[in-house]
């Protein structure tokens, strides 16, 4: 198969073998990257110590130091403040010609600093940002048709989640539900391959998930009535969290990043364990260290700290906070109902809070099942999830990332961004039955569907064969063809999607486009034909 035929297959999204192979390579790259990323975070946390061991001056000083370094970096790169899953979603659906990579570099540097200095947030959102960026780089470096961008961004996302938690299936569901926001057969294979390869690499190197999580030998059956209560509580809590995070972002004060560090430190003085990534919660619950009052205080402090930190511009993730807040709610209900900590309610709370807050029920359900290995959780977790999402929607809240983008003026229009034209490259729809003639009339050429000639530096004139014959009947040999009322075709890049071709035609008032290969016209794209074929 020639190189052009391979590119044409990729443009159609039909070359599953090459896409899957590249997905495997991407999985290796993302797996290695997140190994380094999580090692940097764990190293920074070990160097600074856990917040529970800090003195009072450290509780105040460390978050302010982390916020100051963040502000310094943002001052140096003022146009690179957008980070995390929300940035990935916006970039993917805007489909920029060149994916922004400086943002990912800043994310790689700042996340260890911020988590080590006690800021309340998660590491999974930044990991997704890094994985998705590496997927976009693969698309650009290999000069693949740009309809492959969403496939490999999704693959990088799945690899980052799957490798971090050793949950490849949850990584695939997260990529499809939260980032790509659609399920396609063509998109599944490379995404699955990337997630599996990254998880296998991390498991081989580390032997355990990069994000610490307890193991459970046996989970007792929960009472479905209390599961419903957990669902209702998590639905209300996730709706409040989304609302408060968005409110904090809309009403961001001056020097909000420094204020976020100050607030985080002040809350840490009251509830020291509310600082950081929250992974100490399980140890304290299992050790019986948290009573109803202490757990309620932890929930309140963690809620306030995280919503303000994220809303005021600290570039950390919200996936871990939602998981741990959900676990806290489930634990509080189990303490209240049974008088002791029952892990199953905490696990169901995790699924409910994450699924409702991000509007990703399948990803949340699979995530908890894969983490615990307890397939018996499926039925109660589904019941709790459905209840939580209904309550969340009744509170007029949707997916946090989508709502944040809307608050900032970017309305996701999935009927457009997921249109078939975004899934096909220009080379998938080229009309190749044409003949190119000189600009000056030299007689009728061989018969073809289209006749084209050069009208400007990057513009072609074109007419269907019969129209060209009629239009040139009155022309003498040597007269210019530019005087004919021809269809105007502009040049587009070979890797453009059909959606980008139509957009450029509208912007430049072209009637279609053409693609060059080795300085020769490879094929034509007529706008009205594309609209009729792919409407």
Nearest to 527, CA basis, from 504, 451, 425, 435: 504
**Span 216-252, pLDDT tens digits:** 666 777 888 899 999 999 999 999 999 999 999 999 9
Give the separation between CA 135 and CA 40, rounded to whole angstroms.
21
- Three-class DSSP category at 440: strand
Residues 155 and 190 sit within 8 Å (Cβ to Cβ): yes
Q: What would the DSSP string read from start to end of 389-436?
A: HHHHHHTT---HHHHHHHHTT----HHHHTSGGGGSBGGGS-B--EEE
Q: Check whether 534 has a pLDDT greater than 70.
A: no
What token pair was written down for 176? 């499809």
Amino acid 1: pLDDT: 53
Give the separation between CA 439 and CA 509, rounded to whole angstroms.
22
- Pairing state between β 450-454 and 434-436: parallel
Q: Check whether 283 has a pLDDT greater than 50.
A: yes
Q: In which region does residue 77 sit, left (phi positive, over 0), alpha (psi from -120 to 50) or beta (all else)?
A: beta
Q: Position of tokens 């309550």?
A: 391
What token pair was written down for 160? 């980052």
Q: Check whether 4 has a pLDDT greater than 60.
A: no
Give the separation between CA 356 and CA 142, rounded to whole angstroms.
38
Spell out the residues 6+ positions from residue 312 whose beta carbon is closer than 8 angstroms to its own.
248, 249, 252, 253, 256, 257, 259, 260
DSSP single-letter state for residue 317: B
Residues 493 and 525 sit within 8 Å (Cβ to Cβ): no
Query: Terminal CA-to-CA distance of the chain, rounded, Å?
Result: 31
**Which strands, in side-by-side order, build the sheet including 450-454?**
434-436, 450-454, 459-464, 487-491, 512-517, 520-526
**Span 420-469, pLDDT tens digits:** 666 677 777 788 888 888 888 888 888 888 888 888 888 888 888 888 88
H-helix or E-strand spanning residue 106 = helix 102-116
Amino acid 456: pLDDT: 81
Average pLDDT over the chain, rounded to an integer:
85
Give the separation between CA 530 and CA 185, rounded to whole angstroms.
23
Q: Check whether 188 has a pLDDT greater than 80.
A: no
Q: Check whether 484 has a pLDDT greater than 50.
A: yes
Angle at 362 between CA 380 and CA 168, to 5 degrees: 110
Amino acid 134: pLDDT: 94
The model carries a pTM of 0.85
Amino acid 18: pLDDT: 79
Average the pLDDT over 296-320 and give the result. Answer: 91
H-helix or E-strand spanning residue 216 = none
Residues 288 and 349 sit within 8 Å (Cβ to Cβ): no
Q: How far is CA 408 from CA 401, 402, 454, in A?
A: 11, 10, 44
Amino acid 185: pLDDT: 60
What token pair was written down for 476? 């003498």
Amino acid 299: pLDDT: 92
Alpha-helical (H) ranges within 339-360 are: 343-358
Q: Which of 76-80, 275-279, 286-290, 447-451 has the lowest mean pLDDT?
A: 286-290
% of residues, the chain, pLDDT over 90: 36
Amino acid 388: pLDDT: 95
State the sign of the Cα–Cα–Cα–Cα dihedral 454, 457, 458, 461: negative
Amino acid 24: pLDDT: 92
Give the separation between CA 225 and CA 141, rounded to whole angstroms.
54
Average the pLDDT over 372-376 and give the result. Answer: 81
- In order of their start, the domains of the chain are 3-208 (1.10.3080.10), 224-414 (1.10.3080.10), 425-534 (3.10.580.10)
- Three-class DSSP category at 259: helix
pLDDT band at 79 (very low <50, low <70, confident <90, very high): confident
Give the separation between CA 280 and CA 444, rounded to whole angstroms.
80
pLDDT band at 415 (very low <50, low <70, confident <90, very high): very low
Give the separation between CA 353 and CA 264, rounded to whole angstroms.
22
pLDDT band at 308 (very low <50, low <70, confident <90, very high): very high
Give the separation between CA 510 and CA 425, rounded to whole angstroms.
19
Residues 461 and 474 sit within 8 Å (Cβ to Cβ): no
**Span 377-389, pLDDT tens digits:** 889 999 999 999 9
Amino acid 418: pLDDT: 54
Residues 36 and 112 sit within 8 Å (Cβ to Cβ): no
Q: Check whether 479 has a pLDDT greater than 90.
A: no
Residues 405 and 86 sit within 8 Å (Cβ to Cβ): yes
Q: Which of 133-142, 346-355, 408-417, 425-434 has the lowest mean pLDDT?
A: 408-417
Nearest to 145, CA basis, from 296, 350, 4, 336: 4
Give the separation between CA 481 and CA 126, rounded to whole angstroms.
57
Q: Check whether 211 has a pLDDT greater than 70.
A: yes
């Amino acid at each position: 198969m020639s190189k052009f035929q391979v590119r044409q297959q990729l443009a159609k999204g039909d070359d599953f073998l090459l896409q899957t192979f590249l997905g495997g390579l991407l999985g290796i790259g993302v797996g290695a990257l997140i190994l380094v990323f999580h090692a940097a975070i764990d190293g920074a946390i070990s160097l600074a110590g856990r917040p529970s061991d800090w003195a009072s001056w450290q509780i105040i000083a460390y978050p302010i130091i982390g916020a100051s370094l963040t502000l310094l970096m943002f001052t140096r790169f003022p146009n690179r403040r957008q980070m995390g899953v929300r940035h990935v979603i916006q970039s993917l659906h805007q489909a920029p010609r060149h994916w922004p990579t400086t943002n990912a570099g800043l994310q790689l540097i700042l996340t260890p600093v911020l988590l080590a200095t006690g800021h309340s947030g998660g590491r999974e959102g930044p990991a997704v940002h890094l994985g998705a960026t590496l997927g976009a780089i693969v698309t650009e470096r290999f000069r693949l048709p740009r309809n492959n961008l969403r496939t490999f961004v999704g693959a990088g996302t799945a690899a980052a989640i799957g490798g971090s938690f050793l949950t490849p299936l949850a990584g695939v569901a997260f990529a499809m539900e939260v980032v790509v926001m659609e399920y396609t057969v063509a998109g599944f294979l490379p995404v699955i391959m990337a997630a599996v390869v990254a998880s296998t690499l991390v498991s081989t190197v580390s032997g355990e998930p990069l994000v610490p999580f307890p193991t459970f030998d046996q989970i007792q059956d929960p009472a479905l009535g209390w599961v419903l209560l957990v669902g209702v509580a998590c639905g209300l809590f996730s709706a409040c969290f989304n609302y408060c995070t968005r409110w904090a972002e809309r009403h961001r004060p001056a020097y909000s990043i420094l204020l976020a560090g100050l607030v985080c430190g002040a809350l840490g003085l009251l509830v020291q364990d509310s600082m950081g990534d929250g992974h100490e919660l399980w140890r304290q619950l299992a050790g019986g260290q948290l009573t109803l009052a202490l757990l309620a205080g932890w929930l309140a402090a963690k809620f306030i700290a995280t919503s303000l930190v994220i809303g005021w511009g600290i570039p950390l993730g919200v996936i871990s906070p939602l998981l741990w807040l959900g676990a806290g709610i489930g634990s509080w209900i189990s303490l209240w109902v049974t008088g002791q900590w029952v892990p199953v309610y905490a696990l169901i709370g995790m699924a409910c809070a994450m699924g409702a807050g991000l509007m990703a029920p399948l990803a949340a359900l699979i995530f908890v099942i894969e983490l615990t290995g307890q397939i018996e959780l499926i039925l109660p977790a589904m019941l709790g999830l459905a209840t939580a999402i209904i309550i969340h929607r009744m509170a007029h809240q949707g997916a946090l990332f989508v709502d944040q983008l809307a608050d900032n003026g970017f309305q996701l229009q999935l009927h457009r961004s997921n249109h078939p034209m975004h899934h096909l490259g220009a080379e998938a729809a080229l009309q190749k039955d044409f003949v190119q003639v000189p600009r000056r009339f030299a007689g009728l050429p061989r018969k073809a569907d289209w006749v084209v000639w050069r009208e400007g530096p990057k513009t072609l004139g074109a007419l269907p064969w019969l129209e060209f014959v009629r239009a040139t009947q009155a022309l003498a040999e040597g007269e210019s063809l530019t005087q004919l009322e021809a269809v105007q075709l502009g040049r587009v890049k070979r890797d453009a999607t059909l959606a980008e071709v139509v957009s450029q035609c509208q912007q430049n008032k072209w009637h279609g486009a053409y693609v060059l290969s080795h300085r020769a016209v490879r094929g034509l794209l007529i706008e009205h034909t594309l609209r009729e074929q792919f409407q």
